[in-house]
Amino acid sequence: MNTAGRKPWSVGSVVALAAGLVCAGVLGSGMLTLLELADDDDCEGTGKRLERIAGLDVLHSPPAGARPAKGFEEADTGCLDDSGDEYLGSLRAYDSELDEAAVLKHYRAVAEGGGWKEREVTYGTAESPEDVDAVKACFTKDMPGGAARLSLRHDPSRTFEVNVESDLDGNGLDC
C-alpha cells in the first residue's frame, strides 16, 4: 500500500475515532434493545398480575432455619419468553440444612393451606438420581388472570427453589 503523502494518525484522531466507535456501539445496542422491546409488547399491562404472583405466601414461607440463597434475597420475578411461549414467573431460592423430605413436607403443607392442588410431575423429571434440576413436586392453582403452577426443586447441596409460573394467555401450565 502506498502511504506516501499521508499524514500519520495523531493521538487525538485515534481517541476521537475510538470514542465514535464506542458511541455507535452503545447507540446501536440501545436501539436494538428498544426495537426488541417494541416487538415484545405481550408483557405490557402484566404488572399487577406479576405483583400478585411475586407476593404469594408460598414464595415467602420457607421452613424454619432456611435463608435466602445468595442473589435471591428478593423474588426473581418477570415476564419470560421460553421457546416462544410467554409466561409470568417468580422464583425464590433458599439454603437450608433440611433434607429433601423435610422441605417437601413443609411446602406441601404451605401449598395445601394456600389452595394449591398437588399434581403428578410430568415435566422437569430427573434424568438420573443425581439430577439437581429435577422438579420434586408440582402444584396448580386457579388465580385471577389464569392458572398458576408451583414447582419445587431440591438439590443435595441443601439449596431448594420455589417457582411460580403462569402462562401469559391465561392457559394452565402442566405439571
**pLDDT grade for 124, boundaries at 50, 70 and 90:** confident
Residue 127 exposed, middle or buried by CB count within 10 Å (0-12, 13-18, 19+)? exposed
Which tens digits make up the pLDDT trace of 79-121?
876 666 788 999 999 999 999 999 999 999 999 999 999 999 8
Which residue reads 439437581 in cell numbers? 132
Does the pLDDT value for residue 25 go beyond 80? no
Please give the Cα distance from 167 to 49 (Å, whole number): 11
Does the pLDDT value for residue 55 go beyond 80? yes
Of residues 116 and 22, more confidently modeled: 116
> Which span out of 33-37, 141-145, 154-158 was modeled with the highest average pLDDT?
141-145
Residue 172 exposed, middle or buried by CB count within 10 Å (0-12, 13-18, 19+)? middle
Does the pLDDT value for residue 145 go beyond 90? no
Of residues 41 and 149, more confidently modeled: 149
Q: What is the pLDDT of residue 111?
A: 97
Q: What is the pLDDT of residue 52?
A: 92
Residue 69 exposed, middle or buried by CB count within 10 Å (0-12, 13-18, 19+)? middle
| Phi and psi angles of residue 144, each rounded to the nearest 5 degrees, phi first | -55, 130
Mean pLDDT across 64-82: 89
Of residues 143 and 23, more confidently modeled: 143
Does the pLDDT value for residue 1 go beyond 50? no
The pTM score is 0.72
Contacts of 75 (CB under 8 A, 6+ apart): 54, 59, 60, 90, 91, 92
